Amino acid sequence: MRKLLIILSFLYFGQCNAQDSLHKVIAQFAFETPRLSPKPQLVPGVAISSISLSGNWKFNANENNLSKAGNIRVPGEWVMQGFNVKKGTPAYYFKAFSIPADWIGKRIKIKFDGVSSHGIVIVNGKTIGEHEGSFAPFEFDITPAVKAGVNKLEVIVQCETISDTLACTSQYAAHPVGGILRKVTLFTLPELNISDFFYTVRFDASYTNAQLLLNSNLSAETATHGNATLSYILKDASGKIVPLKNSQKNIEVFNYQKTIPVNFSILVNAPKKWNSEQPYLYTLITTLSFNSKIIQVNQQKIGFRQIERRGNQLFVNNHPIKLRGANRHEVHPLLGRSLTPELCKRDVVLFKNGNCNYLRTSHYPPSEEFLDACDELGMFVESEASLCWIQHGASPIWEKWNYLDAKFLPFMVRANVDNVLAGRQHPSVIIWSLGNESRWSPLWERVNTEVKKLEPSRPTSFHDQCWGGFNNAGSKADLANYHYPGFNGPAACEKDKTRP
């Protein structure tokens, strides 16, 4: 008996030490939020500020050889276009593009809205950067590598990498999901530019007037000193300018500053609210001036919408909501996981006609075009990060891998940060889903913390296992989820009075 107690004590303290070590590693983990610039509407001095690179590209499924490359459509899956790429090997995309002469002397960025699942970007033979993770936008500065006139772009893509495995992307689709799945865009910016922007809405106690909280970063990509101004114009749906008492923020820029946070609040009297029944959208125009000269103008749709969690209810604009909806995959019999804007909008119309007011983007972030349609037509969205079945029986890899291994944390955090950065401009997004049907752990707790730090105005949700259990690993997300509940599901959910 004494020997058994000694063994059990050793195992207990061993587990405690392992847990302490895991928590220490997680606490020491540092993550830098990637840049995802708002695309400019106007950059004075250039004829056009952005160029689409979508369309026909060259593609080689076997080797880095342009002379033996065939034609492929971007965006698109390679499997859906008749190409087979051997597992564990990359495929090669090639594209020639021209830089307008009036872009020289400015910053030049390239943005990919989704590459599955690992991409390396090369411009004129120079490696610019790489990204791991499908269905999420990312950007690189290519200024040092480009020249006026014709340039050569190469993208080395490999599917079924670590992010694909953690998301069960190809497993779920029942085929290798590989390719440049979403649009590719070049755009130019001034040397001092708006590198980040998002907004939140806070109504007063009567939910009549609202504070429009504007959060921006200015980036000085070369040493700059002077006076910058951010000014804002708000237009209603008819194009009429909304009177604003205070709509300008002055900022002094110093040579040593690379990134300058700018937070500003504007009072808007009695704005029309956005909800799924009345999806009213305003247009916000942001103008950046430097030393009294306009250098950048941005334009975007916004909705006045506030989300709150009170006990076990979810409120939008002070009204409790009941979500009626479905899971939605971006899928088409001929296009696979790469849909056109028209198909995205048609999906929203179909669900609206089916009396749905809510869609969960299982199991990855949706496209910008889909969220635009949800904003316009009125559809609540739970935007899900590209993570699925971590320590779940449906994913056989966890028979070999340890779901508590901290080496997975950077990929889990990046998948969620990418999701938030892609969707936080859209009033239709009301919930951040951390991932699908996985087992809660200290890693997920850190993920939840990072999401709340980055974007606290929306609640987080977590699908903590399924099949015979509900929140059976202690999820700390804001919203609880019960999948496949059966007849007793509502009664089981009612036991949790602390969260929806």
Closest C-alpha among 161, 148, 157 to residue 92: 157
CB proximity list for 246: less than 8 A, separation 6 or greater: 266, 267
- Which 3 state secondary structure label does DSSP give 245? coil
* pLDDT recorded at residue 10: 36
Confidence class for position 466, pLDDT limits 50, 70, 90: low
Average pLDDT on 302-323 reads: 96
* pLDDT recorded at residue 13: 36
Pick the residue with more confidence: 239 or 497? 239
For 413-430, the pLDDT digits (tens) are 999 999 999 999 999 999
Which H/E stretch holds residue 450?
A: helix 442-454
Structure tokens at 471: 């929140």
Average pLDDT on 237-248 reads: 96
CB proximity list for 309: less than 8 A, separation 6 or greater: 315, 459, 478, 479, 499, 500
* pLDDT recorded at residue 11: 37
Going through 113-190 in order, the beta strands assigned E by DSSP cover 115-116, 118-123, 126-132, 138-141, 149-158, 179-180, 184-189
Distance CA 271, CA 372 (A): 20
Give the type of residue at 128.
I
Structure tokens at 436: 């699908």
* pLDDT recorded at residue 15: 45
Residue with tokens 């037509």: 377
Cβ(461)–Cβ(477) under 8 Å? Answer: yes
311-330 burial code (b ≥16 CB/10 A, e <16): eeebebbeeebebebeebeb
Cβ(328)–Cβ(360) under 8 Å? Answer: yes
- Measured between alpha carbons, how far is residue 384 from residues 6, 38, 145, 417, 469 in Å? 46, 21, 35, 11, 21
- Is cis: bond before 363, omega within 30 of 0? yes
**Cα dihedral sign, 159-161-166-171:** positive
- Which 3 state secondary structure label does DSSP give 199? strand
Residue with tokens 């080496």: 407
Give Rg (Cα) of the chain.
24
Distance CA 213, CA 225 (A): 26
Average pLDDT, the chain: 93
50-189 folds as: Jelly Rolls (2.60.120)
Instruction: Write the burial class of residue 487 (CB in 10 Å: 0-12 exposed, 13-18 middle, 19+ buried).
Output: exposed
Confidence class for position 20, pLDDT limits 50, 70, 90: confident
Cβ(478)–Cβ(459) under 8 Å? Answer: yes
Does the pLDDT value for residue 184 go beyond 90?
yes
Closest C-alpha among 458, 495, 318, 306 to residue 384: 458
The answer, as to whether pTM is greater than 0.85, is yes
Percent of the chain with pLDDT over 90: 84
HSE-up (13 A, CA, CB side) for residue 25:
15
Percent of the chain with pLDDT over 70: 94
Confidence class for position 471, pLDDT limits 50, 70, 90: low
Strands 358-360 and 325-327: parallel
Does the pLDDT value for residue 5 go beyond 70?
no
For 263-277, the pLDDT digits (tens) are 999 999 999 999 999
Structure tokens at 442: 């200290």
Strands 55-60 and 70-74: antiparallel
Domain ranges for the chain, please list them: 50-189, 192-302, 322-494
Average pLDDT on 61-87 reads: 97
Does the pLDDT value for residue 435 go beyond 50?
yes
Cβ(362)–Cβ(384) under 8 Å? Answer: yes
- Is cis: bond before 75, omega within 30 of 0? yes
* pLDDT recorded at residue 192: 96
CATH 2.60.40.10 for the 192-302 domain, yes or no: yes
Confidence class for position 153, pLDDT limits 50, 70, 90: very high
Question: φ and ψ at 314, to 5 degrees?
Answer: -115, 130
Average pLDDT on 284-290 reads: 98
Cβ(129)–Cβ(140) under 8 Å? Answer: yes
Cβ(247)–Cβ(231) under 8 Å? Answer: yes
Strands 259-268 and 429-433: unpaired
For residue 291, what is the DSSP state?
T
**Domain 322-494: CATH architecture, name and number where available:** Alpha-Beta Barrel (3.20)
Distance CA 124, CA 12 (A): 57
Structure tokens at 422: 């892609």
For 374-399, the pLDDT digits (tens) are 999 999 999 999 999 999 889 999 99
- Measured between alpha carbons, how far is residue 283 from residues 126, 271, 303, 372, 430 in Å? 39, 12, 9, 13, 20
* pLDDT recorded at residue 422: 98
Confidence class for position 17, pLDDT limits 50, 70, 90: low
- Measured between alpha carbons, how far is residue 269 from residues 64, 203, 304, 321, 425 in Å? 59, 10, 11, 24, 21
Does the pLDDT value for residue 360 go beyond 50?
yes
For 436-459, the pLDDT digits (tens) are 999 999 999 999 999 999 999 999
